[in-house]
Amino acid sequence: MGADRYGAGGLDLARQAGVEAFTVPFADYGDRGDWNAALIERLDAYRPDLVVSAGFMRILGAEVLERHTVVNIHPALLPAFPGAHAVRDALAYGVAITGATVHFADSGVDTGPVIDQVAVRVDPRDDTASLHERIKSVERRMLVEVVGRLAREGWSVQGRQVRLGGSGTRQTPSTEYVAEENR
């Protein structure tokens, strides 16, 4: 488990679970290129098949993305509302439905090929905090399921189409976590 700042909540959780954790603080490096190089060095030591970005609010450089396949979670139905303020932006726009997207990271901001999405209905009483909490409850389950499927079944990407498994056909994602959230 890696983080870009000391004190990230996931670091303690990882250590408690016996998972090795590391930190590459952005503030410790003179520029983004130096930080990306340090991050690559740490990631390379683990030789991961996938790097999963959850709550990691840094744009990864092209050199990181060229060496590692990165999966990201985002609290909106991309391509709508990319960036750091997706939940606030969705509420300000007045949408009735938003959600969560798991996608492969590319050099843009939340522009990579979509792996899976789940809709979350906006309640008229929602504020940014309450809606974000409901989206995060979907994101957590969704990310575990999607990463598990990627690990078990493999994937291919053709253009913007992500296909899970060896058959080349997109399987219907589980809707168990969708129904519970949207009651």
CATH code for residues 53-182: 3.40.50.170
Mean pLDDT calculated for residue range 110-131? 98
Q: Would you call 68 a catalytic residue per the annotation?
A: no
Domain boundaries, the chain: 1-47, 53-182
Question: Over the chain, what is the mean pLDDT?
Answer: 90
Catalytic residue among 74, 85, 103, 132: 74
CA distances 169 to 82, 118, 145, 161, 172, Å, are 27, 19, 18, 10, 10
pLDDT at 173: 41
For the entire predicted model, the pTM comes to: 0.87
